[in-house]
Structure 1
Amino acid sequence: MDGNFLYKEDLTAALPVGVSKDDSILFTEHYIRSWAEEILLYEKAENNIPDNAGIDQLVENYRKALIMHTYQQELINQRLTKDLPEEDVVAYYEQNKELFKLDFPLIKGLFIKVPLTAPQLANVRKWYKTEKQEAVEHLEKYSLQNAVKYEYFYDKWVSVADILELLPLQVETPEIYVNRHRQIELKDTAFYYFLNVSDYRSAGDQKPYEFARSEAKDLLVNQRQVNFMKQVKDDLYKQAVSKKKIIYN
């Protein structure tokens, strides 16, 4: 271990903040031992690996790759923006519909859970079946005093699995059941459950844009980065040829 030194300031810098005195002693002992073991193992390995040239080449290849990657990221950060116009994201989504398929079904609708003893159940049965603003407002006011659970999601997609967790639905294929029965009323020993399904997307269907937007944007950003770097490399190559840095025989 000749020529290797562990300085106090290096050890201090590695010490976790706020550690107790006893723990700092244990940490210091472990750190020093690990430092020494690493150096000893490296020296042993260096003396017993015959093909150091091969390792040097691997290190050089990694260095080149790291430098190129760092340069590419700097270029991309300087020249490209991730703030894409919304119409560009929409166009990419429309042109690449095959990329956006659902892995699980989605649903839009309304759910309300009330006790069996809740008042105005006849009205609830009427209100939950329609998306009309007046009925929704009645339900919202009603739910404040009477509902155990109220979920309004006519305006957003949610996982069918999340809604099924709210229902005491005992069927073999609950997702299919919900798709076929858009207005569902169930009850158990304590509660009534009402679900109105306004829209449904099955697994394998195209993802709704609002559900796929983030993914579409990321894919478009990545595509533009790839195209940008391809153009940069092409320009560098053409410049090198024109300056006769690359010569064909």
Structure 2
Amino acid sequence: MKNWALIVGLAVLFSSCHFFKSQAKPRAIARVADSYLYHEDLKDLVPAGTSKEDSIVIVHNYVDRWASQKLLIQAAEINLNAENKAGFDALIRQYKIDLYTNAYLNEIVKRSVDTMVSDAEMKAYYQENKENFRTNGILVRLRYINLQQDNPKYETIKAKFFDFRKADKKFWGTYALQFKSFALNDSVWVEMSQVYTKLPFINPDNRDQYITAGKSIQYSDSLNMYLVKIINVIDRNQIAPLEFLKPTLKEVILNKRKLELIKKF
């Protein structure tokens, strides 16, 4: 990489750090006491295509950080009392043990736990624990279309939208590309935050005016025409529906399997 030619002549002064021209391989870029930063340590530091100026900044900052850390650890080793250092050394040893064992257990879990969760399992867990799955906010099932005011097929689209028959699937496949945005799958539960984003004329202040089960809405502004059909609404702190919870239920069941496996060790 061309940028590495820049590193050879780089000099960064920092407190007691000593920078020098390499006289033997491996080439040292910086030194703090008996610690060395070598050319090889920097080989993947600068991304390909980085400009000369940016390369110098990246390397300079890296060497500064390396030197700072070495100086701080050196000062800590000199100034901390033996009891403190012994305590920290014990923590380091325990951290290494925890890190290795957790990584090993996670690998075993990854290889051993069945990640398939059936609908029947989710339904059974839901039925047993549904009281624990209450909504934090309002959930809504709806469908909507956002189209331009001057759409020549507006009346036809409106009629089919509010009538909404399965036989019109081909019609929607043809005309959906003309819409600014739309959601026609009204079996999906969504949170109010998504409703506010997709239907900006609805907000927390006027929500009750629009978000009512069975309500049909036509709303226009200077550029857009919105057609909305509210299918159902679940209020805050009610039991959330199974379909909305399926991703959460799957994660809960998988985590239970993992914990059960880990307990065996």
Report the TM-score when normalising by structure 1: 0.73
Q: 1:123 to 1:100 in 2, by over 3 A?
A: same
1:109 corresponds to 2:165: no
For 1:183, give the aligned amino acid: S
TM-superposed CA distance for 1:91, in Å, is 1.9
Name whichever of 188-197 and 104-113 sits farther off: 188-197
Consecutive unaligned residues in structure 1, runs of 5 or more: 234-249
Q: For 2:54, which of 23, 26, 38 is the aligned residue? A: 23
* Structure-2 change in CA distance of 1:116 and 1:66 (3 Å): closer
Structure 2: which 5+ runs fail to align? 1-31
In the alignment, what sits opposite 1:217?
250
Task: Check conservation: 1:160, 1:175, Cα contact below 8 A.
Answer: no
Which stretch of the first structure deviates more once superposed, 207-216 or 152-161?
152-161
**Distance of 2:204 and 2:103 partners within structure 1:** 55
Structure 1 partner of 2:43? 12
Question: Residue 101 and residue 130 in structure 1: after superposition, are their counterparts in 2 closer, same or farther (change >3 A)?
Answer: farther
Aligned-pair CA distance for 1:100: 2.5
How many Å separate the matches in 2 of 1:74 and 1:113? 48
* Count of residue pairs brought into register by the alignment: 231
DSSP 3-state at the match of 2:189: strand
Using CA pairs below 8 Å that are at least 6 residues apart, which structure has the higher relative contact order? Answer: 1
Task: Look up the equivalent residue of 1:80 and give its one-letter code.
Answer: V
Q: Given the superposition, is the C-alpha separation of residues 21 and 93 from structure 1 closer, same or farther in structure 2, using an over 3 Å criterion?
A: same
Residue 207 (str. 1) matches residue 240 (str. 2):
yes
User: Aligned-pair distance for 1:5?
Assistant: 1.7
| CA deviation profile, 1:20-68 (whole Å, cap 9, x unmatched) | 2333233333333322222111111111111211111111221221122
Q: CA deviation at 1:99?
A: 3.2
Alpha-carbon deviation of 1:144? 6.1
1:110 maps to a residue whose letter is: R
Report the alpha carbon displacement of residue 137 of structure 1 after superposing the two structures with TM. 5.5
* Equivalent position of 1:85 in the other structure: 118
Q: Which amino acid aligns with 1:65?
A: D
Question: Superposed, which structure 2 residues align to 1:49-198 within 5 Å?
Answer: 49-50=80-81, 51-112=84-145, 127-133=160-166, 136=168, 140=172, 150-164=182-196, 165-166=198-199, 168=201, 172-175=205-208, 177-179=210-212, 182-188=215-221, 193-198=226-231
3-state SS in 2 of match to 1:153 = coil
SS of 2:187's partner is: strand
Aligned partners of 2:140 and 2:190 also within 8 Å: yes
Q: CA RMSD in A?
A: 3.4
> Cα distance 1:45–1:111, how it changes in 2: closer, same or farther (>3 A)?
same
TM-score scaled by structure 2? 0.69
Change (3 A) 1:221 1:139: same
Percent of aligned positions with the same letter in both sequences?
Answer: 23
C-alpha distance 57-182 of structure 1, shift in aligned 2 (>3 A): same
